[in-house]
Structure 1
């Protein structure tokens, strides 16, 4: 400032500044933030005594003011200000010193001790001009240095939207009232756009946001500059004429939760820049709310419209990126996979990201990729003639499988698929029990051979009765069941029955009859051997013998002769009673 500028400080309504006009100083340009001359009075919010030190045209001007003496003046313009003038001696700019009491010192320390508040002060100006890609960032020609109790902080120009938790970013969202188009981009590709008309000549608006799908603790990787100090949630920042407008309701990320929750996209950070030279844009003393006017209402409505369109479109794109539920069918005929571009017709018409789906053919599937998400579609193979060679059952170690299947080795060697118990395997093992299917697929035919391999088991004896009557004849087949190694009853077995030296047990091996002549428990031992497998089952069987109180007629007709179905001679070990 010069002396003329200092005098105008105290003539509130006589300021010659025009709100929003460009101010140039050397190579730097800024937009005028005020127009009524009220800005200098804001210093008295922190303390009652203030001194200024300012240089211009090699002159150093120093003066001070006391708030209590100013309010006593009938007309503040009548206040005489004592200005000290000297040579600047290299001093550049303006230094303002405010004397404040201990209470305000403590409150300021507490406020600026919070990183969220401090960062907003340090980054309270954005650049005057956008670069060609429409991105908005801090003004690199306006550095703010901040020091509390010897701890210094400065404007951080490394805070760039594209580097804020890059791995969990969904897309970037940009709008300019010049192009009247909202553009969504991902991995430096424009993926969707929509016209949003803009009709005002009183202001311009630009928006540069990043949307997220955050995982656990994902927010901690985002600079606290973009935290709402009231809720601690992520928020875009609004700048009026490149200066931070400390308002968090104008672009409310919770907007769609009260309208349509399925269209919510509230994990947003970034910048919204409004520029205007219209003096009707005014604020309350804390610069947290607009002073209501026709223009500020218009700006508020348009920002809300941008917010709504951003969340509606963005939530739809988020769902497409996350679920990739894009296709009208999940199976594609093999004939159509010769040209993968044909598959575009199976994508839903309303799928916004349709042009960005890439296709890759695998053996029997099509991999469909949308950025870092993918799904697969099944390929329906051409219909081929199926030749079923039938089913062959074979006993491992007993049968010669080569005698049952002609050219078995050739069939296995030329196979295109081998399955074991419905699971695909690499090779055929003729000693592995289970169900095998050997397939040979050619251009027009599929030949399949089913082989069921079984391992013989130990022959089995099971007892049917264990309480008998003394002296009564019992058919051996009524007392026992005999099964060979192949699950067949009374076939291919050799028998050996031992009476355990009990002379009262009588066996007629021709008739297959056994008779017990002693009460209480009687035990016999039976050994059966499968003739093919040589597997043996040996077991002791005990019967409880009781008195027979009924006379049973003895018939001797030929019809009562018992022929055992096993049709094999019994080897009997008999113990003779010697008196």
Structure 2
């Protein structure tokens, strides 16, 4: 005797109730199109014909796929896994997707074509009334005139039609459907009674209120760094490590300082149900309707002066972990260890972003960084532009990075594409006859005043340089301004015109400016231009060059000593003028650590033999690389340095001389070493670290 399982048609009704709203149901149908590899899907609502049509251009279904569609609660898909054919994360996995159609109406027709065209239909009332649903037969009609893809036509009932029409009246609602997927390969179009809305016409994130943008913030847990950009320049990096292999996290945010009612300048896509600005959260590229896991107002109850809640953008979570599950309306994760961890991480990174951003935001919006735009008359005697730095607000977080230029009695303070000017008051001027307006008739020193420092580094290949552009002003002994064209320019004692051709190799040039005053004679001003190979800064997020930079690609890493990078970062945080002595000692330590690493390696255990002299050991390393073209080529390739440029800067005598000065500075008297000497040592150690790193880690260097 046997019995059999009978499944009543009521199961369809009960399972349909797991889909709580028509918006969730619509998202499910769009997800089906996405999983089918469709480049586009159109959702069309016709209130006159009372039809809701979802049409995609995906791969369509064959007989086997249709059988799978109606195999209730069965699926061979793994949610969140990568479909390599379409390079998309799989969305469906419950085997309940087709039930979404019954959220809108009871009569549904499908047209689909993969290899053959099929048309079939279902009546909800008939299906629910089945005594045993497993015995239900669906008639498939072959029709090869059907277009490739899938078209679902639903006879929508009045309630759901009016509900959808009301929902789509609000811009923030239909835009969330249009942006249901964070994927440029998938277009969503909505047609409401003939009016078409397209996802392709959505406003790009960075096009929202650019005049009021404070920061752009990015993060991905692969590199573990929160990166702040201001005016498209990287300005801050903060480490934030996520210790998990079960998911990936990425953020792209824009933070604003908006005026009253400024919210109206932002795309309404980024409004939550309370009409507050919010980033959007995506899980495996599909919009997750959650607005509390990353709440922009999180700091309001912690510390109000650290609030940066005017933010929009996207948060992306990627995971194929089975623990990733949602409640029925897809607005919350089901609680478990993994989802609790994700919630905690999102809260902490949110607080970190707002705290760090708030601590650095002062003066950035209006860029009013000066204590005064009118400078006292005594500033006219300043010969070094650094003397004007004291007029920058002391609490401006980026005070030391501001670039200062002088243009006669105008001083420009510039940073990250922003600038502000100050004027020196009471500067001596001449009247229409060219006479000194001070009226005292005294002869004063003639002067050439430059708007740059007297020592500059320029990366090669350089552009042509107008050397006159470095002149702020020229004044004769009568206090009269002198035209720049009257100034002679010499390079290494050879008179030239004011245009310096592009420089393609490393070198130092001594630039001399001079003019002959009719009363006081010759006036001379010198600067040195050092042309260096492309440099990679050890510390990211800074635009002002640091003392130690390496001639290498930006992602080049040193790994022969666990402390080397930290030491370099700390040196680069010190001001050369204030900490010259400490820096000199630290630079010597970097050489010593590197030499010690060579001596202790099995590869070079007897490299230095009986040599004890510190400077000569450094010179031996330079000679070892320079004497072997193959080794030099390996280093040039690994560090992305031009081979000939590398040869030019592998100068044994320069290293021996420079390191000798570091030795004196560290162990005898600091009067033997100048700021320029320390700066030169910074250049030398940058390359030396690369040489040692390649010697120890490159198998082609024996």
Q: TM-score scaled to structure 1, two decimals?
A: 0.58
Partner of 2:117: 60
The answer on whether the counterparts of 1:61 and 1:86 sit within 8 Å (CA) in structure 2 is yes
Deviation at 1:52, TM superposition (A): 2.3
Task: Extract unaligned runs of 5+ from structure 2.
Answer: 1-60, 446-702
Within a 5 Å distance, the mapping from 1:163-178 to structure 2 comes to 163-178=207-222
Give yes or no for contact 1:192–1:352 (8 Å, CA) kept in 2.
Answer: no
More strand by share: 1
Q: Deviations over 1:131-177 (max 9, x none)?
A: xxxxxxxx2x2111211122121113452122222222222111011
**Does residue 20 of structure 1 match 2:64?**
no
1:274 maps to 2:291: no
Determine the structure 1 residue equivalent to 2:165.
109
1:17 Cα deviation after fit: 0.4
Aligned equivalent of 2:34: none
Q: Which residue of 1 aligns with 2:404?
A: 359
For 2:168 and 2:331, how far apart are their aligned partners in 1?
17
CA distance in 2, matches of 1:267, 1:441: 60
Indicate if the aligned counterparts of 1:61 and 1:83 stay in contact, CA closer than 8 A.
Answer: no
Query: Contact 2:112–2:146 at 8 Å: present in 1 too?
Result: no
Alpha-carbon distance, 1:3 to partner: 2.5
Structure 2 matches for 1:526-541, cutoff 5 A? none
- Between the aligned partners of 2:93 and 2:382, the Cα distance in structure 1 is 68
Change (3 A) 1:415 1:375: closer
Q: Deviation string for 1:102-149 (max 9, x for gaps)?
A: 12111110001111100111121112xxxxxxxxxxx2x211121112
Superposition map of 1:67-106 within 5 A: 67-71=124-128, 78-89=134-145, 91-106=147-162
Alignment of 1:233 onto 2:276:
yes
Structure 1 counterpart of 2:193, from 101, 125, 149: 149
Q: Distance in 1 between matches of 2:321 and 2:250?
A: 17
- Conserved in 2, the CA contact under 8 Å of 1:174 and 1:209? yes
Alignment partner of 2:296 out of 235, 253, 265: 253
Q: Distance in 1 between matches of 2:176 and 2:369?
A: 42
- Mark the CA change 1:145 to 1:441 in structure 2 (over 3 Å): closer, same or farther: farther
Alpha-carbon separation, structure 2, partners of 1:271 and 1:41: 30
1:221 and 2:265 matched:
yes
1:348, 1:316 → 2: CA distance? 15
TM-superposed CA distance for 1:216, in Å, is 4.5
The Cα shift of 1:252 comes to 1.1
What is the CA distance between 1:337 and its match in structure 2? Answer: 4.1
1:338 aligns with 2:395: no
Instruction: Provide Cα deviations, 1:516-566, integer angstroms capped at 9, x if missing partner.
Output: xxxxxxxxxxxxxxxxxxxxxxxxxxxxxxxxxxxxxxxxxxxxxxxxxxx
Aligned to 2:235, the other structure's residue is in SS state strand
**Residue in 2 that maps onto 1:126:** 182
- Could you tell me how far 1:79 is from its partner in structure 2? 4.7
CA distance in 1, matches of 2:406, 2:345: 47
Cα distance between partner residues in 2 of 1:90 and 1:44: 23
Distance 1:246 1:413, change over 3 A: closer
Structure ranking higher in helix proportion: 2
* Secondary structure of residue in 1 paired with 2:87: strand
Decide which of 337, 343, 350 is 1:307's aligned counterpart: 350
Q: Deviations over 1:406-463 (max 9, x none)?
A: xxxx9x996545xxxxxxxxxxxxxxxxxxxx7778649xxxxxxxxxxxxxxxxxxx
Instruction: Find 1:193's aligned residue among 233, 237, 240.
Output: 237
Find the aligned partners of 1:329 and 1:304 in 2 and give their Cα distance.
Answer: 40
Distance 2:72 2:394 in 1: 62
* Pairwise CA distance, 1:267: 1.3
Asked if structure 2 preserves the Cα contact closer than 8 Å seen for 1:172 and 1:208, the reply is yes
Q: Which has the larger radius of gyration?
A: 1
* Paired residue total: 382
Q: In 2 relative to 1, CA 442–194 (structure 1 residues): closer, same or farther, beyond 3 Å?
A: farther
Q: Separation in 1 of the partners of 2:315 and 2:442? A: 63
Pairwise CA RMSD of aligned residues?
3.7
